[in-house]
């Protein structure tokens, strides 16, 4: 039997990816994936369309989410898989998170005005319509489009990254609260890209507050990062996930296809979902 592969971290244009859910599924199919997870920031809007397309193309769609949490001032991302994405407590909280994102986008634009950067607010807010989650990547893209920055990285470095004039944090959820929300909705909380977030020193604490696994494989983790995270998860018998974190054209490179996680990791994940066993 040939090995089956999955990508458990993909964004759509429901948050800050540039591909529609259908386009993501089509690309995943043509790259030979058996399953993918849709993990947009603070919204489940893309999941239904992806599932529809998944049925059509015979590719399994895992419902997911990527939440942001803060431990003191350290930001980290928490992935949630297989939570009840059509209703439930988490969904109610997501509405508040998106509202906060809208206010924050306006605040960032206002702060940038102090330094004579006049961004087109309407264009930015198009990404906040319906149930979409507007984010810094949209503002970065606008900074590039209007000629204030040479690329997305430049925008984060000069204007909207932590410590910059336009930096504004989001709704301050603690990691414990994020894990609780995901679990209450029947889902599995996983610490996203710990090496990219530089939070390896917090991992034990995060496991203590309810995280059930770690995203070991990620397109921005080095081989060394991956090995040491693999070691950590195996020693502690934690779940292991992996994904490209593709944002379409939102990042310098189209990342889907960069991480091919063997299907057995997804099988193991599914075994720990109460409503699937
Ligand atoms: P937000 O959730 O609105 O704070 O935006 C976070 C998003 O911005 C994530 O998807 C990150 O991948 C992206 N991001 C953060 N820092 C950078 C950076 N330096 N260059 C490009 N994208 C970044
Ligand atoms: Zn993103
Ligand atoms: Fe992330
Ligand atoms: Fe992500």
CB burial class (10 A; 0-12, 13-18, 19+) of residue 153?
Answer: middle
CA distance 224 to 119: 40
Q: From ligand 2's centre to the CA of 13, what distance in Å?
A: 10
Structure tokens that stand for 181 in this block: 């929300």
**Predicted pLDDT of residue 41:** 98
Quick one: what percent of the chain has pLDDT higher than 90? 93
- Which sign does the torsion angle of CA 90, 91, 92, 98 carry? positive
* Ligand 1 contact via 136 beta carbon (within 6 Å): yes
* Ligand 1 contact via 246 beta carbon (within 6 Å): no
Quick one: what percent of the chain has pLDDT higher than 70? 100
* Ligand 1 contact via 219 beta carbon (within 6 Å): no
* Ligand 1 contact via 19 beta carbon (within 6 Å): no
**Predicted pLDDT of residue 1:** 58
Residue of the nearest CA to atom 6 in ligand 1?
Answer: 136
Closest ligand 1 atom to Cα of 68: 2
Segment 9-60, tens digit of pLDDT:
999 999 999 999 999 999 999 999 999 999 999 999 999 999 999 999 999 9
Q: With cut-offs at 50, 70 and 90, classify the pLDDT of residue 247.
A: very high
Q: Give the mean pLDDT of the chain.
A: 96
- Which sign does the torsion angle of CA 258, 264, 268, 270 carry? positive
Q: From ligand 2's centre to the CA of 246, what distance in Å?
A: 8
Q: From ligand 1's centre to the CA of 136, what distance in Å?
A: 6
* Ligand 1 contact via 156 beta carbon (within 6 Å): yes
Asked whether 201 and 88 are in contact (CB, 8 A), the reply is no
**Predicted pLDDT of residue 171:** 79
Q: With cut-offs at 50, 70 and 90, classify the pLDDT of residue 82.
A: very high
Predicted TM-score (pTM) of this structure: 0.96
The residues facing 6 across adjacent strands are 35, 261
Segment 98-137, tens digit of pLDDT:
999 999 999 999 999 999 999 999 999 999 988 999 999 9
Size of the chain in residues: 277
pLDDT mean over 266-271: 97
**Predicted pLDDT of residue 88:** 85
Segment 156-194, tens digit of pLDDT:
999 999 999 999 988 789 999 999 999 999 999 999 999
- Per-chain residues with Cβ under 5 A from ion ligand 3: 77, 192
Segment 191-211, tens digit of pLDDT:
999 999 999 999 999 999 999
**Nearest Cα residue to 133 out of 162, 97, 167:** 97
**Predicted pLDDT of residue 30:** 98
């Amino acid at each position: 039997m040939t090995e089956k592969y999955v990508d458990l971290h993909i964004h759509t244009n429901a948050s800050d990816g540039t591909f529609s859910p259908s386009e993501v599924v089509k690309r995943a199919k043509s790259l030979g994936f058996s399953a993918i997870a849709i993990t947009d920031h603070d919204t489940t809007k893309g999941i239904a369309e992806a599932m529809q397309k998944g049925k059509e193309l015979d590719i399994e769609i895992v419902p997911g989410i990527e939440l942001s949490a803060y431990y003191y001032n350290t930001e980290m991302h928490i992935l949630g898989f297989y939570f009840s994405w059509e209703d439930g407590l988490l969904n109610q909280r997501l509405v508040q998170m998106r509202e906060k994102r809208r206010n924050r986008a306006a605040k960032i634009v206002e702060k940038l005005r102090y330094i004579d950067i006049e961004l087109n607010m309407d264009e930015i807010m198009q990404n906040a319509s319906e149930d979409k989650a507007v984010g810094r990547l949209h503002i970065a893209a606008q900074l590039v489009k209007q000629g204030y920055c040479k690329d997305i990285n430049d925008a984060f470095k000069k204007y909207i990254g932590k410590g910059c004039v336009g930096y504004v944090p989001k709704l301050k959820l603690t990691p414990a609260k994020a894990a609780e929300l995901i679990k209450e909705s029947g889902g599995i909380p996983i610490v996203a890209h710990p090496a990219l977030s530089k939070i390896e020193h917090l991992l034990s604490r995060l496991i203590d507050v309810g995280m059930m696994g770690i995203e070991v494989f990620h397109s921005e983790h080095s081989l060394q990062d991956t090995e040491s995270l693999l070691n950590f998860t195996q020693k502690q018998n934690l779940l292991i996930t992996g994904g490209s974190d593709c944002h379409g054209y939102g990042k310098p490179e189209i990342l889907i296809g960069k991480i091919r996680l063997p299907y057995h990791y997804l099988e193991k994940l599914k075994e720990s979902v109460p409503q699937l066993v």
